[in-house]
A = this chain, B = another copy of it.
Amino acid sequence: MKANIKQVAFEAGVSTATVSRVLSGTGYVSDEVKAKVQEAVAKLNYRPNAVARSLKQDKTHSLGIIVPDISNPFFMSIARGIEDTVREEGYQLLFCSSDEQPEKERELLMLLNEKRADAILIATSGGNEETIARIAASGVSVLLLDREAGSGLAAELDLIAEDNRHGAYLLTRKLLSSGHTRIGVINGNLNVSTGRDRYEGYLTALGEAGFAVDPAYVVNGKFTVQGGTEAAGYFLGLEARPTAVVSFNNQMTFGLLLELNRRGLRLPSDIMIASYGEVEAAMLLKQPELHYIKQLPYEMGVRAGEILLERLRHTGQETAPAQRMVFMPELSTL
């Protein structure tokens, strides 16, 4: 059996990152540790593959990831998928949270660039196309995560996302086909592609069914738990309150459920809920009937990691065209 970097690390009693540093000649490693690694390499007859050989000497082996909400399990699952994929080759992840603030995001982009991250993965809060383009042009691999970017950037950068329009369309259709006509919608951040596309999917489904949008049933929940809670309070205060609600991310759905539960409402008899994204906590509900789009964040992260590793292996060589990977959403029921 061919030895791999993990076995070498185990044999030498060091980490894979250290083995990687010794093999690529980057970073500080003591002579003693270097000798141990070389011994292990010799003993196991380890042959670093093309990856290791092509590692450029100026790699820092750190990847930066910027997400809008570091407390959202969706983004943390993506991060876990990325990390599990890139760790084997000695890369480490630095997380940053932009809190949906374009200015904070810009500062974080500049920080990661200053820190010489080999690549940056970003679920953008919008408005930073120019900064992203400049960083990408300087040779740093940039991958768009979950959210597209405007200004033609999307076509130049790798992208891992979902078909958000279709997912939102499926959710809305589910509510319509269950006989609901007064459907409340909790939008996320409309400055970003996921927020906009999901709302468009809702509009399409509504239009197909021959309904017009009633602005009184459209609120902005900002992709946050609190936004979902406030939306619930608003809807329940309406004279003709919606009989169903579609919520466009997991955090807002959680906030919505907290408030509905606090007021003693039951699903789906009192109100029917459709959610873009799973809410693990919903399993604690007594009768949780909940329709949702099952997202695959871990798988998205793995694919993002694979695409990035491929890029990083060929840094400085002729670059492959941008890859776009769009996951197709499916409707599930809890």
Contacts and interface: CB of A to CB of B under 8 A. Distances in A.
A131 interface: no
B70 A73 contact: no
Interface string A3-31: 00000000000010110000000011000
Interface string A262-286: 1000000000000000001111111
A108 B83 CA distance: 13
A106 B261 contact: no
Contacts of A111: 62, 92, 94
A244 interface: no
B96 A15 contact: no
Interface range on chain A (Cβ under 8 Å from partner)? 35 or more
Contacts of A96: 92-95
A228 to B, nearest CB: 13
A175 interface: no
Interface in A68-118: 70-71, 73, 76, 79-80, 83, 92-97, 103-104, 106-108, 111, 114-115
A258 interface: yes
A121 interface: no
A8 to B, nearest CB: 15
A189 B285 CA distance: 30
Contacts of A308: none
Nearest to A111: B92
A103 to B, nearest CB: 6
Contacts of A107: 15, 17-18, 92
A27 B80 CA distance: 32
A28 B110 CA distance: 10
Contacts of A15: 103-104, 106-107
A279 to B, nearest CB: 9
B95 A70 contact: yes
21 contacts: A15-B103, A15-B104, A15-B106, A18-B107, A28-B114, A60-B114, A70-B79, A71-B76, A71-B80, A92-B107, A92-B111, A95-B95, A95-B97, A115-B115, A258-B280, A261-B283, A261-B284, A262-B283, A280-B281, A281-B281, A286-B286
